[in-house]
Chains A and B, each alone.
Chain A
Amino acid sequence: MKSLINFKSALVVRSNTKFRKIKLLMCGSLFLFSFMTIGYRTISLAGITKPNPANISFKTIKSDLNKNLTRGNIYDRNKELLATTISTSSLNINPQEVLNKKNTIEKLLEIFPQLDEVALKTKLDSKKQFVNILREISPKEHVLLLNEGIEGLKIRVKHKRIYPNNNLAAHILGSTDVDGSGIAGIEKSLDSQLKNGKNIKISIHSGIQHITEKILFEQINKFEAEGGAGIVMNSKNGEVYAITSLPDYNVNNYSKVSDELLFNKATKGIYELGSTLKLITAAIALDSGLVEENEVFDVSRPLRVSSRTIRDFHPLNYAINIPEVIVHSSNIGSAKIAEKFGSATQLKYLRKLGFMDKMDLQIPEVGIPQVLMDRKLLSTMTISYGHGIAITPMHLASSTATLVNNGIKVNPTLFVSKTREKNTRVFSKNTSNKIKSIMRLVVKSKYGTAKKAEAKGYLVGGKTGTAEKLSKTGGYLKKQNIVAFTSAFPINNPQFIITVMIDNPKGQKFSYGYRTAGWVVAPVVKRLVTRIAPILNIKPQNENSLNFSQNLIQYEIRGKEKGANL
């Protein structure tokens, strides 16, 4: 019986031990499983699935940093900085936190002697909790403030748009408002891209821009003019290297500049640019086939049309052909050519050249041309020599480029072109070559009106224009002129266009009282070409050399003494 009991109890102990083992194993497994699950999740959350920070590429960090975007920079075509954003600190104070106002004022005046003591006291007596003391403080002043340990000071870091070149290309760059949004120029037209931190490269060449501004400024002063505009543009792809509108301003002080200075004369202002338009008249005549190349026009007598009499500045007493009309700048000849091809043809070509539309330039300050569209004979005639048609100097530069670019339209651009766009043809290649030949004669011929534009070796060709200034109340101001010169160089293979306009020059002693384009703007082009050609890698040519490309037509130009009386 005892042995049976022992056997039973032995069985119970064995089964208990086995059960305990199973229980322990199950608990252990469960515990381990739970621990591993939690562990895995903790590790995964802690970063095992994240890239190892030590291995994060600089690119990732950079893009991460760029989330806190500052406005993009603007560079010129050579990556020279034109506009950038920097961080600055502003000095503010909470008057309620200031314990000793007298002491605080003394300390602040020691660091910032420019502050007004009375104004500072008023600010500190204010019931407000946040008062601005200075909009901008230097890092050095910031350190001095920290060393003084003034209570209640609040230094706030803010972004500031700066233009390191001050006045350079002021009208093109434009500016931003206090919130950092573009309000003019490139800053406005490319605002969204710049706001997204994108850097912009424009086609402006800082060096050429400076030279253009300087030379034009000197000439404006020399002739006591009101202002002027200058454009340097690639004649093949329309890339603008310089746009000047004078007087200009320091872009860093944009908010304090008057509207008059902000006005962009080169792209926004529309002017009657006078005889420079005769080039287009000649091109229309030659291209349309409505006027014979050798046809002559009697310019010996003033031309009376309706109520108006058209006269020449240098009258000739014989009949002249198209090249002579341009070289002598005959209004009568030009009017008679226009009469031959008529209003419809004239307007068709002007439309093709973009003279009816606002130019598609990458800044908002673009003027809309005004053209007399009444199709009357008088209007056709006056338009032919640049009266009754008001365009921007940029329109003139663009049309000159089209004339010399084998007749293919050139659209000005402020960006460096990567691909050459296919543009429409306005004039034939043959017409373009004839016009280039005539343009060269305007400068080279002893009867030309732009002899002072001759820059030795650089083969300048162009056309002058002197027009009476339009009065704001209507009509013309007889004693005030707009003088312009549009040119291309080297004219046997044009690379660049230079268009210059000066507003209201006064006759000077050295100019024998003359204030015509030949005296005022032609010398500007000569100086400009001589200065910028080496920068643009354009080499001077020797017209007498055997290597010279003789691709221009040598028209014979007769002077006053050589003319045959009618």
Chain B
Amino acid sequence: MIRYPSFLVVFLIVVVGISLYQIKFFITQNEVALKTIKTKIVNAKSDLEILNAELSYLKRPDRIEKIALTKLELKEILPTDIWNLKDLVEATKSINARVPK
């Protein structure tokens, strides 16, 4: 006949055993996941470095300048293309003053 304490002991042993197995399984699973993530990060980082280098190669100032000149027909900004707003107001005033009413 199984007495109460014996039953408790057996029950505890079973619970602890199952818990241990579960924990071990959980840890192993997560460690594998972590390793996979780490590998993925390393690979992604390596890919990113190559992509950044490629992007930088494509963004070379000499290449951009060539494209701007040949494809976009952009030109250098000359000092005459830039106006100070105050000077612009002054110039407008002087032109207006010269125009006969």
* CB-nearest residue of chain A to B30: A53
- Residues of B contacting A19 in the complex (Cβ-Cβ under 8 angstroms): none
- Residues of A contacting B16 in the complex (Cβ-Cβ under 8 angstroms): 35-36, 39
A458 CA / B54 CA spacing, docked (Å): 37
* B61 contacts A530, C-beta separation under 8 Å: no
- Residues of A contacting B42 in the complex (Cβ-Cβ under 8 angstroms): 65, 68
- Residues of A contacting B19 in the complex (Cβ-Cβ under 8 angstroms): 39, 43
Report the minimal beta-carbon distance from B91 to chain A, rounded to whole angstroms.
Answer: 9
Question: Which chain A residues (19-64) contact chain B, with CB distance < 8 Å?
Answer: 24-25, 28, 31-32, 35-36, 39, 42-43, 46-48, 52-54, 56, 61-62, 64
- Residues of A contacting B9 in the complex (Cβ-Cβ under 8 angstroms): 28, 31-32
* A53 contacts B31, C-beta separation under 8 Å: yes
* B53 contacts A162, C-beta separation under 8 Å: yes
Q: Mask for B68-82, Cβ within 8 A of A = 1, else 0?
A: 000000001111101
- Residues of B contacting A530 in the complex (Cβ-Cβ under 8 angstroms): 76, 78-79
A8 within 8 A of B: no
Most buried by B among A81, A207, A458: A81
Residue in A87, A210, A542 whose beta carbon sits within 8 Å of that of B46 in the complex = A87
A65 with B41, Cβ < 8 A, contacts A32-B9, A39-B16, A54-B30 known: yes
A86 CA / B57 CA spacing, docked (Å): 14
> Which interface class (under 10, 10 to 19, 20 to 34, 35 or more) fits B?
35 or more
A80 with B33, Cβ < 8 A, contacts A530-B78, A534-B82, A545-B90 known: no
* CB-nearest residue of chain A to B86: A547
Q: Mask for B45-59, Cβ within 8 A of A = 1, else 0?
A: 110011011111101
A168 within 8 A of B: yes
- Residues of A contacting B38 in the complex (Cβ-Cβ under 8 angstroms): 61, 64-65
Question: Which chain A residues (153-174) contact chain B, with CB distance < 8 Å?
Answer: 162, 164-166, 168
Report the minimal beta-carbon distance from B37 to chain A, rounded to whole angstroms.
Answer: 7
Question: 10 closest pairs, A vs B, by CB?
Answer: A210-B61, A457-B79, A540-B79, A164-B56, A81-B56, A53-B30, A164-B57, A47-B27, A534-B77, A53-B34
- Cross-chain pairs A/B with CB under 8 angstroms, 13 sampled: A32-B13, A46-B23, A85-B49, A86-B53, A164-B56, A168-B60, A456-B79, A457-B79, A457-B82, A531-B76, A539-B84, A542-B84, A546-B90
